[in-house]
Amino acid sequence: VPLQASGGGLVQPGGSLRLSCAASGRTFTVRTFSGYTVAWFRQAPGKVRDFVAAIFRSGGKTYYADSVKGRFSISRDNAKSTVYLQMNSLKPEDTAVYYCAADAGVILSALRSRQTYGNWGQGTLVTVSS
């Protein structure tokens, strides 16, 4: 699996978690990883998979869903072929399986669409509950 998501767990409301998405294999090398836009999506039980955040290739500009803006922060370390999602002030409605996805051909207008991304990780469960 070229993308490995990790870092999920159980956290109380108001708490924090940091998710990691590590890329590896022939698709993603240290040299090529910087050319991929990487996004996080999440899927709550019985709901569709929604866009959470993305970090664009090259310049690394970031984009967020309105529901997480100001609380979540996405960043990347190209030397480690890893993207992080720092999640602060977590709410029960943030409970979901979080997936990372990557693609080299992402255009801005399609950044938030899950159909845009050709490479997906296996997901990591985040549960926000007291």
The whole-angstrom separation of Cα 10 and Cα 35 is 33
pLDDT per position as a tens digit, 50-104: 999 999 987 789 999 999 999 999 999 988 999 999 999 999 999 999 999 999 9
CA distance 79 to 128: 31
Q: Give the model's confidence band at 105: pLDDT under 50 very low, under 70 low, under 90 confident, else very high.
A: confident
Reported confidence tier of residue 29, pLDDT bands at 50, 70, 90: low
Cβ atoms within 10 Å of 58's Cβ, excluding its own: 10
Per-residue pLDDT at 1: 56
* pLDDT band, very low/low/confident/very high, at 9 (cuts 50, 70, 90): very high
